[in-house]
A and B are shown apart, each in its own frame.
Chain A
Amino acid sequence: MENLLVILFSAILVNNFVLARFLGLCPFLGVSRELKSSLSMGAAVIFVMTLASVSTWFIQYYLLIPYKVEFLQTIVFILVIAALVQFVEMVIQKVSPVLQKALGIYLPLITTNCAVLGVCILNIREDYSLLETIVHGAGGGIGFTVAILIMAGIRERLSLGRVPKCMQGFPISFITACLMALSFFCFQGFFAH
């Protein structure tokens, strides 16, 4: 139990996928203009990361390892994640149009995102069990959501402030992201003792 909590919080804070591992920067900067859309994005990432973690865990231990083709990991993972998310998108569209509206275009948008692939490969590298994999996937998604929500809040304020012309848009966003990464750096070694 303690082990699971450590995995969850280290994925959220210490090894935050965006701010410590620098994965998934594209949606992090692209969809963080408004709080509302970044919340939808975060929800989609939590969903896809958990789903991808579970499915790739099974692929790894029941297909790739028995047939000794672990080198196919990256391409097989991407293929499976993309197909699975597409499938879930279809099911959601049929079963719950409300949920589909909430997740919107973000669900298919992040299927082949590097953060999603990253969490799957890290699960294998850390030799997580199935339960640990699920927790790590969800934690990674929650960490992404926390980071993108903070970023969106700051950027909403920034859009009202006076930013020098040469710094408007992406330059000031990168500096904001850099300062956020520095502040998250304080969590390093948090669970060491």
Chain B
Amino acid sequence: MTVILVSLIILGGIGLLCGIALAIASRVFAVKLDPRIGTIEKALPGANCGGCGFPSCHAYAQNMVEGGAEPNRCVLCDAEAAGKIGKVLGKAAATIEKKIAAIKCYGGATAAKSFDYGGIPTCRAASLYGGGDKLCSHSCLGFGDCVEACPFAALSRSGREAPIVSRDKCTGCGNCVAVCPKNVIVLIPRKALIHIACNSKEKGKVVRQVCEVGCISCNRCIKKCPESALSMQDNRVCIDYSKCTSCGLCIEECPRKIIKDINPREEASRAVNQ
């Protein structure tokens, strides 16, 4: 009988003491967090994609309150959400341009190969072997490192073709841009309709030998453009989206059909074809 009583007292006593001690400790050692951090974190999407430059939504919220980060850096927030966050901080949130990832190479499946690669099937591993198995050293390697890196499942691929970006899912966070060893992916304004799909820095003659869908630096698009939005840099056509009016003359002019119309209509038809 006494054994039961003693064990009850000891166990209950220890439990009670621990409980009281923890209750006191939680008061004494309470860490006061700025309540604004919680409010802002709720307004953020919570996807932890890293598009804002911070490792997580919580870190971004903390930095906005304590470190003075701008409230418009979230790639997922629309203007309304950014405004809401700005209101909590007492700042006006200037809107940023929404971006979307675009792949500057369509030669993934067709470009000529220099050797048969049989190693670890990732782009980063393949690019370590003499820059990959494609003759064009600027080509998409097509092992889909970007597909795996995308936190929103916005990229999809079949075989070793260049991945397809889903307009609905892509948020422009840039995780795929960071992971691509060939720098084939770029972020372009979401409202842009024209996209130049060749990444090669080689001269036209070399490109002609290794790829059927590469830019041969013929300059015809540049001459055609009425707004002079196009220019040639490193044998590559570059587009200045601030000047482009999406007239589409360059798309018709390109002999290699590498200037693409990337509006939603065209993407839908391509998905059907596949």
Contact = CB atoms under 8 A, between A and B. Distances in A.
Contacts of B19: 83
Contacts of B14: 76, 79-80
Interface residues of B, number: 18
Contacts of A72: 7, 10-11
B6 A87 contact: no
A69 interface: yes
Interface stretch (B25-33, B163-171, B180-188, B239-247): B25-33
B22 A67 contact: no
Given A69-B6, A94-B29, A94-B31, A87 B21 contact: yes
A64 B31 CA distance: 36
A90 B18 contact: no
B14 to A, nearest CB: 6
B10 A76 contact: yes
Nearest to A83: B18
Interface in B81-127: 120, 125
A101 to B, nearest CB: 11
A83 B23 CA distance: 11
Contacts of B22: 83, 86-87, 90
A83 B31 CA distance: 19
Contacts of B10: 63-64, 67, 69, 72, 76
7 contacts: A67-B10, A69-B3, A79-B18, A83-B21, A91-B29, A94-B30, A162-B120
Interface of B: 3, 6-7, 10-11, 14-15, 18-19, 21-22, 25-26, 29-31, 120, 125
Give 3 closest A-B pairs by Cβ, nearest first.
A83-B18, A94-B29, A90-B29
Given A67-B10, A71-B7, A95-B29, 10 more contacts: A63-B10, A67-B6, A68-B6, A76-B10, A79-B18, A80-B14, A86-B22, A87-B22, A94-B31, A160-B120
